[in-house]
């Protein structure tokens, strides 16, 4: 009598289970195409081509004038007068400072008097020798006396020459009491004041005079950078490569671009043993005298490339010092490819190896892509569409 309820109970559990399974199966079949569609990311791609590019390499520089002359005293003495002001434009030979010359003038006068006395003695010795000549010829006196007189004349003449040299040295020292500009240019800072004691061995210069009609930008590049430099520019010799460098741009410390282009003039003959770098020098015209010695800035060396492959930097990833792109292969599958970067042009890499014209690369959304992932290609510049995170 209890059999029927038990059967009904078992039938009910079976029917409910079958109904639940059918419902889940129908539900799964309904979502599968949508989920499959969401698992295929839509990403922008581009076809690799060749084009022209300009590469700019920037270096920090220090500016120097055509001549930056330190002005130092050549004699000791009290600074008597400062004849110029800081920032004055002076000519070559123009007096800048005057040192008290009283001691040096006395030394010169004393040396000049000694010179005159020695010259007079030489003149007397010459007369004494000349008057013995006829006496020796007439055998009135022995020839040895004439020989002795001529020797005395030579000695007196030598003493006169020595005295003249001493006088000239004293005149030079006297002239040094007026400190003159060795070159034309602008006067720098003057740290001394009237009445200061100056010595010729002092560490600090009186001032500097800078000829800024032409300026030099001095900087250094590494050994690797120098090797790249030699590859960038045409020419068999280093001088030919230097001549092939386009006009150099100068950016001043405030970010403004200097309105005159520069010329790379020279490269040092050897590398610095401490830094491993080599010096380079660029000259800039300075007709408006806007640049001064000691200015800092940045120079840009430009090189031009033809028929090179450009890849946006945003379309690459870096891993363990390697730069990679994501290639689109058959079946819209992707694979990572290592590339060789020869330089930068704006926001693009110049690629010398790893990809070729005609290859298709993914340009966005590549950070988490795995090799073999299937994507839906979109035109370059489109916003990537990736699966929703679960």
Query: For residue 8, what pLDDT band results from cuts at 50, 70 and 90?
Result: very low
Mean pLDDT of the region 133-162 = 92
Beta-carbon contacts of 183 under 8 Å, excluding residues fewer than 6 positions away, are 67, 69, 92, 209, 211
Query: For residue 9, what pLDDT band results from cuts at 50, 70 and 90?
Result: very low
Nearest-angstrom CA–CA distance, 284 and 216: 6
Q: What is the DSSP letter of 39?
A: T
pLDDT for position 63: 92
Beta-carbon contacts of 366 under 8 Å, excluding residues fewer than 6 positions away, are 43, 315, 317, 325, 326
Task: Please give the full DSSP string across 202-270, using - where no structure is assigned.
Answer: -SS-SEEEEEEEEEEEEEEEEHHHHHHHHHHS--SSHHHHHHTSPPBEEEETTSPBPSS-BEEEEE-SS
Q: What share of the chain is helix, strand, coil (3-state, %, to 5)?
A: 35, 35, 30
User: Is residue 229 over pLDDT 80?
Assistant: yes
Cα 100 to the center of its chain, rounded Å: 44
Nearest-angstrom CA–CA distance, 175 and 78: 15
Average pLDDT, the chain: 86
Query: For residue 387, what pLDDT band results from cuts at 50, 70 and 90?
Result: low
Beta-carbon contacts of 74 under 8 Å, excluding residues fewer than 6 positions away, are 173, 176, 179, 200
pLDDT for position 248: 94
User: Is residue 166 over pLDDT 60?
Assistant: yes
Q: Which range has highest mean pLDDT (157-161, 226-230, 285-289)?
A: 157-161
280 burial type by CB count under 10 A (0-12 exposed, 13-18 middle, 19+ buried)? buried
Chain segment 80-131, per-residue pLDDT in tens: 999 999 999 999 999 999 999 999 999 999 999 999 999 999 999 999 999 9
Query: For residue 139, what pLDDT band results from cuts at 50, 70 and 90?
Result: confident
Per-residue burial over 302-317, b if 16 or more Cβ lie within 10 Å, else e, is: ebebeebbbbbeebbe
Q: What percent of the chain has pLDDT over 70?
A: 88
Q: What are phi and psi of 193, to 5 degrees?
A: -130, 160
User: Is residue 196 over pLDDT 50?
Assistant: yes
Lowest-confidence segment of 24-33, 108-117, 199-208, 298-307 by average pLDDT? 24-33
Neighbouring C-beta atoms of residue 61, cutoff 10 Å: 24
Mean pLDDT of the region 44-62 = 89
Is residue 230 within 8 A of residue 221, CB to CB? The reply is no
Nearest-angstrom CA–CA distance, 101 and 107: 10
Cα 263 to the center of its chain, rounded Å: 13
Q: What percent of the chain has pLDDT over 90?
A: 60
Is residue 93 within 8 A of residue 175, CB to CB? The reply is no
Chain segment 250-280, per-residue pLDDT in tens: 999 999 999 999 999 999 988 988 888 999 9
Query: For residue 203, what pLDDT band results from cuts at 50, 70 and 90?
Result: very high
Mean pLDDT of the region 54-68 = 87
Which ranges in the chain belong to alpha helices (H)?
Answer: 3-38, 102-137, 143-175, 223-232, 238-243
Region 42-52+306-379: CATH code: 2.40.420.20
The CATH number of 69-198, from 3.40.50.1260, 3.90.1300.10, 2.40.50.100, 3.40.50.300, is 2.40.50.100
Is residue 190 within 8 A of residue 204, CB to CB? The reply is no
The CATH topology of domain 57-65+211-305 is: Elongation Factor Tu (Ef-tu); domain 3 (2.40.30)
pLDDT for position 386: 63
Q: What are phi and psi of 147, to 5 degrees?
A: -60, -40
In angstroms, what CA-CA distances link 2 with 7, 15, 208, 228? Answer: 9, 21, 122, 97
């Amino acid at each position: 009598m209890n059999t029927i309820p038990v059967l009904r109970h078992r039938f009910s559990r079976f029917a409910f289970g079958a109904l639940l399974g059918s419902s889940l199966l129908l539900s799964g079949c309904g979502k599968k195409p949508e989920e499959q569609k969401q698992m295929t990311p839509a990403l922008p791609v581009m076809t690799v081509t060749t084009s022209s590019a300009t590469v700019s390499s920037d270096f920090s520089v220090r500016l120097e004038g055509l001549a930056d002359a330190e002005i130092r005293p050549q004699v000791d003495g009290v600074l008597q007068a400062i004849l110029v002001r800081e920032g004055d434009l002076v000519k070559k030979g123009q007096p800048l400072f005057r040192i008290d010359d009283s001691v040096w003038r006395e030394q010169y006068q004393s040396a000049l008097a000694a010179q005159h006395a020695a010259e007079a003695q030489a003149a007397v010795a010459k007369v004494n020798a000349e008057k013995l000549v006829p006496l020796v010829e007439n055998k009135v006196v022995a020839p040895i006396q004439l020989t002795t007189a001529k020797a005395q004349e030579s000695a007196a003449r030598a003493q006169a020459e020595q005295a003249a040299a001493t006088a000239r040295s004293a005149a030079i020292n006297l002239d040094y009491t007026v400190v003159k500009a060795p070159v034309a240019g602008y006067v720098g800072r003057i740290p001394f004041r009237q009445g200061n004691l100056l010595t010729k061995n002092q560490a600090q210069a009186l001032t500097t005079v800078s000829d800024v009609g032409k300026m030099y930008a001095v900087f250094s590049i590494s050994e690797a950078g120098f090797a790249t430099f030699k590859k960038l520019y045409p020419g068999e010799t280093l001088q030919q490569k230097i001549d092939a460098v386009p006009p150099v741009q100068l950016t001043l410390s405030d970010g403004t671009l200097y309105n005159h282009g520069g010329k790379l003039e020279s490269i040092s003959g050897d590398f610095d043993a401490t830094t491993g770098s080599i010096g380079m020098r660029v000259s800039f015209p300075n007709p408006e005298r806007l640049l001064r010695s000691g200015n800092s800035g940045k120079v840009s060396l430009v090189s031009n490339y033809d028929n090179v492959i450009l890849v946006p930097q945003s379309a690459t990833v870096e891993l363990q010092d390697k730069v990679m792109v994501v290639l689109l292969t058959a079946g819209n599958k992707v694979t990572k490819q290592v590339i060789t970067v020869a330089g930068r042009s704006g926001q693009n890499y110049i690629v010398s190896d790893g990809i070729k014209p005609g290859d298709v690369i993914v340009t966005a959304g590549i950070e988490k892509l795995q090799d073999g992932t299937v994507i839906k290609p979109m035109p370059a510049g489109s916003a990537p569409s990736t699966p929703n995170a679960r």
